[in-house]
Amino acid sequence: MIIDGQKTDLNPEVLARMGIPDELWRAKADRIQERVRPIIQRYVSDLSKNIADSVGFLFWGDNGTGKTGTAVCIAKEARTLGATVYFTTVASMFRAEYEKEMFDGAEGITVSDRVLSVDLLILDEMGKEPSGESGFQERYLENLLRKRTGARNRATIATSNLTMEKLRAFYSHSMLEALKGKMLPVKFIGENQRDQNDESLRGRLLGMKRTG
């Protein structure tokens, strides 16, 4: 099995219901960093078993190095296998929890229900959520991770722009233990891919002949 979001008809409606932002719908495996690609390929080669065993990842590293795109590639592959998948930023998850926002009004499923029950959960941008003096958010997140890693068919992939040192400063020890329970830390390094895309676009625009 290979990671290739183009081989299956994952139409915009399906991707939107998975929670994936439209700018990430075209995430492709050829953009995955070469140094982490073997790990991702091994994971995906036995994806059904890894999801069944609730095995996931913690992708960490600088902004724009491909962490979220890699997570989305895995998410799309999982969906083609029939797994239920949901993508959310941590901040959006908490905002929905505070507002009791409905994920699907017709079905009456809340975001809280969704993040707990899906086969594969993508938690994007960990460490960007407000810490809050009450500690509610961290307790909620830790409880969610412990419930998911302690159950079958509850794999989680989290991403963070923070270093491991900063993650240790941001979260409590028990929270980090919950985070790393069945989630392999994988470091992403390199130049910001978004900056490279901006430079490529800039070059194309500057190279165009003026018209009119």
Q: What is the pLDDT of residues 55-65, one digit of tens each?
A: 999 999 999 99
190: left (phi over 0), alpha (psi -120 to 50) or beta: left
Mean pLDDT of 145-161: 94
* Closest residue by Cα to residue 83 from 153, 156, 178, 185: 153
Q: Judge whether residue 36 has pLDDT over 60.
A: yes
The answer to which of 10-24, 53-67, 98-112 has the lowest mean pLDDT is 98-112
What is the rounded distance in angstroms from the CA atom of residue 141 to the CA atom of residue 146? 9
Mean pLDDT value across the chain: 83
Per-residue pLDDT, 16? 92
